[in-house]
Amino acid sequence: MQNFKMVAKTFFGFEEILAEELRVLGGSNVRVGVRNVTFEGDTGFMYKANLCCRTAIKILKPITEFRAHNEEELYRGIQKINWRKYMTVTSTFAINATVHGELFKHSQFVAFKTKDAIVDKFRKEEGTRPDVDTKNPDLRLNIHISNNYVNVALDSSGASLHHRGYRTSTNIAPINEALAAGLVLLSGWKGQCDLLDPMCGSGTMLIEAAMIAMNIPANLNRKEFAFEKWSDWDVDLYERIEQSALKRVTDCPFTIRGYDKAPSVIEKARENIKNAQLEEFITIERQDFFESEKDGDDFLQLIFNPPYGERLPVDVDRFYGQIGDTLKQGYPGTHAWFVTSNMEGLKHVGLRPSRKIKVFNGKLESRLVKYEMYAGSKKGKYMNDGEE
Ligand SMILES: C[S@@+](CC[C@H](N)C(=O)[O-])C[C@H]1O[C@@H](n2cnc3c(N)ncnc32)[C@H](O)[C@@H]1O
């Protein structure tokens, strides 16, 4: 099978992590961009990237690129594409457009113009036209315009890849699954010690961590990928890829646990864990973190996203102070990582982070911070807080 270029999209701050995922999976010419990684592979690798990448939110397959300085040139460029290769007159389609630069300013307008060019072409040649279906189309197109440079791609994923399929129940501030996986990977946890999410909400961080530790493909529970509706969809090839990924699944000898103080949330976390078929590997307890202590002497890693004060009302200064106090007093022999967009809150933790990594949670600029608590000392280690 022939290799072609693909673009995996991700969140700011996770490009290197995604590139490493793609390299390990076997992608060629992996190159890091901003919020994306380009790579090469064949159709089987495209299936694999969709199935296995934890930090990708889309895998795009570019089909052509051209220059356009105005809407007329855009229209003509789109009409030059041999659309019959990808769809028929009875196919439905949807267009997602993004624009950067001075020439094209409205993504909706670009999507509209592209749609016109496609349907006009079919109408002219076949007397009838394909319909648009934004919810469940047969073909999803992605148009990216940067100044006068137009890139047209097929979207092989469909709904964002963070829709893993296991999360049926959420609290009011669940973290995006791909982001949760990225944070766990950024922290370096791969199943080498016990893990606790002390504010686990609907359990996303724990489920993603367990899948990382056991090498379970991220999208094993997902219902559908867009490529399943393509004319070259090869179900046998996909099944072979899935089977070979499943052969690499391992056990995790360490404990993966979650606490949350809200009883309603505990049930939701358990339901999601059951959907992901990970009940055997993750335990959830109703527990106020601020009244907890580390169990035993084994080294422990914490990873969590505390309320930022955006969607969940909290007294930020006091709350972040309590995080620091709990870590100092109750968690010797622990590395604690958490993500927050609340920079003011961070000042009240009262410990100096040993790492501080800039990431984005949706549009919220955030920091993933690490605090190292040493065994035998009630103090956190004070280190430089140089930001990465
Ligand atoms: C932003 S949410 C976490 C979301 C979670 N990562 C998810 O994917 O659903 C913060 C969670 O912290 C919990 N929480 C707040 N204070 C807590 C405390 N003192 N102890 C334990 N959990 C707490 C809340 O109930 C809420 O579920």
- Nearest residue by C-alpha to atom 14 in ligand 1: 199
For ligand 1, the distance from its centroid to the CA atom of residue 335, given in whole angstroms, is 19
DSSP secondary structure letters along 234-262: -HHHHHHHHHHHHTT-----S-EEEEES-
Query: What does the pLDDT read at residue 285?
Result: 97
Q: pLDDT (tens digit, 0 to 9) for every residue of the chain, 388 residues total?
A: 899 999 999 999 999 999 999 999 999 999 999 999 999 999 999 999 999 999 999 999 999 999 999 999 999 999 999 999 999 999 999 999 999 999 999 999 999 999 999 999 999 999 999 999 999 999 999 999 999 999 999 999 999 999 999 988 777 678 999 999 999 999 999 999 999 999 999 999 999 999 999 999 999 999 999 999 999 999 999 999 999 999 999 998 999 999 999 999 999 999 999 999 999 999 999 999 999 999 999 999 999 999 877 666 678 899 999 999 999 999 999 999 999 999 999 999 999 999 999 999 888 999 999 999 998 654 444 444 445 6
Alpha carbon of 252 to ligand 1 centroid (Å): 25
257-to-270, 338, 368 alpha-carbon distances in Å: 11, 15, 20
Nearest-5° Cα angle at 258, 160 to 162: 5
pLDDT digits (tens, 9 = 90+) for 244-277: 999 999 998 999 999 999 999 999 999 999 999 9
Nearby residues of 268 by Cβ (< 8 Å), 6 or more positions away? 169, 170, 171, 201, 202, 203
CA of 200 to the centre of ligand 1 (A): 5
pLDDT, tens only, 304-338: 999 877 666 678 899 999 999 999 999 999 999 99
Distance CA 289, CA 257 (A): 12
Q: Ligand 1 centroid vs 316 CA: distance in angstroms? A: 14
* Position in ligand 1 atom list of the atom nearest CA 312: 1
270 Cα: distance to centroid of ligand 1 (angstroms)? 14
DSSP string of 254-312, one letter each residue: S-EEEEES-HHHHHHHHHHHHHTT-TTTEEEEE--GGG----SSS-EEEEE----SSSS
Cα of 352 from ligand 1 centre, angstroms:
22
Question: For residues 18 and 25, is the Cβ–Cβ distance under 8 A?
Answer: no
How far, in Å, CA of 298 to CA of 304, rounded? 19
Q: Ligand 1: residues within 6 Å at CB?
A: 171, 173-175, 198-202, 204-205, 259-262, 265, 288-290, 305-307, 312
pLDDT at 1: 80
- Best residue among 176, 205, 260, 315 to mutate for probing ligand 1, ranked by most atoms within 8 Å of CB: 260
To test the ligand 1 pocket, which listed residue (166, 171, 285, 316) has its Cβ within 8 A of the most ligand atoms?
171
pLDDT tens digits along 211-222:
999 999 999 999
CA of 315 to the centre of ligand 1 (A): 14
Closest atom of ligand 1 relative to the 289 alpha carbon: 20
Question: What pLDDT was estimated at residue 382?
Answer: 41
Measured CA to CA, the distance from residue 366 to residue 345 in angstroms comes to 12
**Ligand 1 atom with minimal separation from the 292 CA:** 20
- How many Å is the Cα radius of gyration of the chain? 23
The residue nearest atom 5 of ligand 1, judged by CA position, is: 201
Residue 259 CA to ligand 1 center (angstroms) comes to 8
pLDDT of residue 380: 47
User: If you ran DSSP here, which 8-state letter would residue 193 be given?
Assistant: S
Report residue 176 as tokens. 């995006």
Q: What is residue 275's predicted lDDT score, i.e. its pLDDT?
A: 95
Residue 322 and residue 308: Cα distance in Å, rounded?
14
Q: In this predicted structure, what is the pLDDT of residue 361?
A: 87
Q: What does pTM read for this prediction?
A: 0.93
pLDDT tens for 164-193 read 999 887 776 789 999 999 999 999 999 999
